[in-house]
Chains A and B, each alone.
Chain A
Amino acid sequence: MSAIILFMAGIAAIAGWWLSQQRLTAKPWLEEGLIVDLREQSTSSLPPAKIGLGVFLAVVGSLFALFISAYSMRMNLVDWRTLPVPALLWFNTGVLVLSSVALQWAYMAARRDDIDGLSVGLCAGGASAIIFLVGQLLAWRQLSGAGYFLASNPANSFFYLITAVHGLHLMGGLVALGRTTAKVLRGAEASQIRLSVELCTIYWHFLLLVWLVLLGLLTGWTDNFVDICRQLLS
């Protein structure tokens, strides 16, 4: 359970930092009158939707941290046979990076009010995300073709499960991205959808980050990393 504990410690640090800004040592029973709180001065740039996305990403992060915890506990049992990671995954990773880059580009175009750049960026980002998903499906087919079925070994089960959960999250993102793109193609102003594009971009970067961590886990890179950490500690 160390992955989820680490994750929770991170969340606790963020929450603690935030709480430390909130005058928790105030004595409200002595303070009468209007207090202009920090929120009014500092967060006019943070719309509710952005905070909402932040909280949602924390929930998703917790979900993946728990999968990673379960993975690392299960892999220490005797019947674990690591499966060969298909080379296709590296291609897919590249495509997902491209997708993130395209959305970042779209976001920057939206800030410049460049509606053409915006629509190109959104479409490229969406298309490469779909290619990533198709690539993941092909990787599944390669694995099952080579005899690595879902139930034949826990390593396989985790591989299919974790990639499926990641893919589902990407599909959810594609729905939001599709709606944003549709608005652009219907002729919305860049300023009206700047926020939606920004939210999509944040979500994409987050899913890329999650994917890189998962890839490290599935290919066994993180094992070496964890071993080094362990040796440093002991």
Chain B
Amino acid sequence: MVDVPFDTVAGVPPAEVGEVELYHPRSWWTRYVFSQDAKVIAIQYSITAMSIGMVALVLSWLMRLQLGFPGTFSFIDPNQYLQFITMHGMIMVIYLLTALFLGGFGNYLIPLMVGARDMVFPYVNMLSYWVYLLAVVVLASTFFVPGGPTGAGWTLYPPQAILSGTPGQDWGIVLMLVSLILFIIGFTMGGLNYVVTVLQARTRGMTLMRLPLTVWGIFTATVMALLAFPALLVASVMLLLDRLLGTSFFMPTLVEMGTLTKYGGGSPILFQHLFWFFGHPEVYIVALPAFGIISDLISVHARKNIFGYRMMVWAIVAIGALSFVVWAHHMYVSGMHPYFGFFFATTTLIIAVPTAIKVYNWVLTLWRGDIHLTIPMLFALAFIITFVNGGLTGLFLGNVVVDVPLSDTMFVVAHFHMVMGIAPIMAVFGGLYHWYPKVTGRMLNEALGRFHFWVSFLGAYAIFFPMHYLGLLGMPRRYHDIGETAFVPASAHDLNAFMSVAALIVGFAQLVFLFNLIWSLFKGREAGGNPWGAASLEWQTPETPPGHGNWGKDLPIVYRWAYDYSVPGTAMDFVPQNEPPAGLSAQGAHP
């Protein structure tokens, strides 16, 4: 245990909260593999998430090849196409974005940003990663089992998800559900850590209203995920029982291949309710950490305090609460009562209010700021544009009368890729470019980074902007081959081919990014402790990368919020959070 005495010094009363006992690794294995250090776990989470994300990226290439050049690639049959879309969606939403934001960014940044030495339950935290890894392995194994992965679509709607017409009916769907159950168990372990660390392990002076918005975003998203993932767990367990033991929770009476099945009386709508009770909060589970990260990036790289900090915090909390009462807007075409549709359309539109407040505050932070177009800033700007874009089409789809004709068209695909695909990924990249120097001590290569940004940003628009138009034409989603259809003109096929080429190029740019991550680890420019001149606590560690226990001998003491940039009358254009005000002697760790 690192002994940190808190003495009474002028103006600083003695601490009443003792330090937690810090775990110390004893061998190479417990230091780098079965590590209980949140920083190592964060890197493990990130590498695993990005690895399985690469699989999903390749799947998207295959889908785009089929859509752009139907009939050219004989190795993509309709069943495989369905398997590709299912696995692409599931991996990207859950195993990549959720795991990367909460397991990756959360594990690395929470202890550093709140001034803790580690998570409060390090052993459970380690377990969380290994259960997550097991979930990923089970998921990946479905590519190699007889029948392949499930092709039920990422929503896994019964009855088709477990009937014989759907690919992967034997093994794929079962392993998918098992993998989801494992993921939820693993996530719950990690999530408990993130929440309790933010609640209980903040260093002295770090009040809730002095937390960087990144921590607020991750914290609120974790609380939401802890409460929402049980819905997916319940749905998965019940669907698994329907599939394996012949219960009829969700399965109605139906005829399969000419014979009456053993099922009867179940309600597929029940599954949809459970799934979307998880599924809609999930959108904000990946959006809120992105909101937080973007707020910090914009403030640091525009050298200006965040505009409306209080309003930003309230908006995050309001979005978190509201996101639990909008789920049925995914089910307008399920035959629900029109009054329900009206209710959920109203709540959906209300949620646009706090979201719009956040966008205004970002823009007002940029207004007359000293904008440095660094790579993290470029990604942050791209996030704002993309999120506004996806949010506006969300208003279209939130209205029942507009949603009904657009349901299950490419418009929906374009909308959710903009709002919860491209936008959060922009935040992920911005965050990676921003914090990579803290994690490794080296900067990512600038030229490769700019190449990566411009190709990804423009390329993403080349893919998904025209997709809105295809959706308005009425082109359905999830179709292997649209064929000759009267309402789809020949030009739409050309557009599809164009989008596919763009997708290949964007995918290639991600390989460049991966190369940059590895190359810069060895050859990148030395970063120093605080290359961006940032005020928040994680940049004030005595060592870079932060050592075991993060803070050396003394925990830092926080005297101000995280956004003191360009304060008039100060020597530098930022004031670190642990810089004591004039007249109070310095204590705690220093950069």
- Cβ of B249 within 8 Å of any chain A Cβ, yes or no, is yes
A62/B230 in contact, CB under 8 A: yes
Taking CB atoms and an 8 Å cut-off, the chain A residues in 27-71 that contact chain B are 27-29, 31-37, 39-41, 43-44, 46, 48-49, 51-52, 55-56, 58-59, 62-63, 66-67, 69-70
A-B contacts counted at CB < 8 A amount to 166
Q: Does A26 contact B (CB under 8 A)?
A: yes
Whether A33 contacts B584 by the Cβ 8 Å rule is yes
Are B208 and A33 interface neighbours, CB within 8 A? Answer: no
Q: Which residues of A contact B (CB under 8 A)?
A: 1, 4-5, 8, 11-12, 15, 19, 22-29, 31-37, 39-41, 43-44, 46, 48-49, 51-52, 55-56, 58-59, 62-63, 66-67, 69-70, 73-74, 77-80, 150-151, 154, 157-158, 161, 165
Which chain B residues border A27 with CB–CB below 8 Å? 310
Complex-state Cα separation, A23 to B210, whole angstroms: 11
- In the complex the two chains form, is A39's CB within 8 Å of B202's CB? yes
Chain B residue nearest to A51 (CB atoms) is B196
A151 to chain B, nearest CB (A): 4
Binds A, one of B92-100, B237-245, B367-375, B394-402: B237-245
Q: How far is the CA of A56 from the CA of B191 in the complex (A)?
A: 9
Contact status B16-A26, CB under 8 Å: no
Residues of B with C-beta under 8 A to A49: 121
Q: Which residues from chain A contact B230 at a C-beta distance below 8 Å?
A: 59, 62-63, 66
A63-B192 in contact given A34-B559, A52-B120, A154-B247 (Cβ < 8 Å): no
Decide if A51 touches B209 in the complex (CB within 8 Å): no
Chain A residue contacts of B188, Cβ below 8 A: 56, 59
- Asked whether B310 lies within 8 Å of A48 as measured between CB atoms, the reply is no
B16 pairs with A40, CB closer than 8 A: yes
A131 to B205 Cα, complex, angstroms: 50
Given known A52-B120, A52-B196, contact A23–B581 (CB-CB < 8 A): no
Interface residues of B in 244-301 (CB under 8 A from A): 245-249, 262, 264-267, 270, 273-274, 277
**What range describes how many residues of B lie at the interface?**
35 or more
B249 with A70: CB separation less than 8 A: yes
Evaluate contact between B561 and A29: CB separation under 8 angstroms. Answer: yes
Q: Return chain A residues, CB-CB under 8 Å to B265.
A: 77-80, 154
15 pairs of residues in contact across A and B, judged by CB atoms under 8 Å? A23-B208, A24-B310, A32-B559, A39-B17, A40-B204, A51-B200, A56-B188, A62-B226, A63-B233, A70-B249, A74-B266, A79-B248, A150-B241, A150-B247, A157-B241
Complex Cα gap A58–B226 (Å)? 9
Contact mask for chain B residues 517-532; partner A; CB cutoff 8 A; 1 contact, 0 none: 0000000000000000
Minimal beta-carbon separation of A125 from chain B (angstroms) = 24
Q: Are A28 and B17 in contact (CB under 8 A)?
A: no
- Chain B residues contacting A74 (CB-CB under 8 Å) are 249, 266-267, 270
| Minimum-distance CB pairs A-B, first 5 | A79-B265, A28-B561, A63-B230, A157-B247, A151-B246
| CB of A73 to closest CB in B, whole Å | 5
User: In whole angstroms, how far apart are the Cα atoms of A59 and B264 in the complex?
Assistant: 32
B581 surroundings in chain A (CB, below 8 A) = 32-33
**A63 vs B235: C-alpha distance when bound (angstroms):** 11
A12 and B195 in contact (CB under 8 A), knowing A29-B305, A70-B274, A154-B249?
no
Which residues on A sit within 8 Å (CB–CB) of B120?
Answer: 48, 52
A34 near B245: Cβ-Cβ < 8 Å: no
**Which chain A residue has the least Cβ–Cβ distance from B562?**
A28
Whether A29 and B309, one on each chain, are in contact in the complex, defined by CB atoms closer than 8 angstroms, is yes
Interface residue from A24, A28, A55, A77 paired with B195 (Cβ < 8 Å):
A55
The answer to the question of B199 belonging to the interface, with a C-beta cut-off of 8 Å to chain A, is yes
- Best-surrounded residue of A5, A25, A29 (most CB of chain B within 10 A): A29
Smallest CB separation, A141 vs chain B (Å)? 17
Contact B207 A73 (CB under 8 A): no
- Asked if B234 CB lies within 8 Å of chain A CBs, one says yes
Give complex CA distance A59, B207 in Å: 26
Given the interface contacts A34-B11, A48-B196, A67-B234, does A59 sit within 8 Å of B227 by beta carbon? yes
Q: Is B453 an interface residue (CB 8 A)?
A: no
Tell me the nearest residue of chain B to A38, going by C-beta: B207
The residue from A32, A70, A73, A154 contacting B248, defined by CB atoms under 8 A apart: A154
Choice from A55, A67, A73, A77 contacting B226 with Cβ under 8 Å = A55
Whether A37 touches B559, Cβ cut-off 8 Å, given contacts A55-B196, A70-B234, is: no
Contact A28–B277 (Cβ < 8 Å): no
Q: Which one, B246, B277, B561, contacts A66 given CB within 8 A?
A: B277
| A5, A15, A28, A154: the one within 8 Å of B209 (CB) | A28
Q: Is the CB of B238 within 8 A of A41?
A: no
In the complex, A56→B185 CA distance in Å? Answer: 11
Contact residues, B192-235 vs A (CB, 8 A):
192-193, 195-196, 199-202, 204-210, 223, 226-227, 230-231, 233-234
Q: Which of A44, A51, A62, A165 contacts B227 (CB 8 A)?
A: A62
Chain B's closest residue to A64 (CB) is B230
Q: Give Cα A119 to B565, complex, Å.
A: 59
Residue of B nearest to A7 (CB): B227
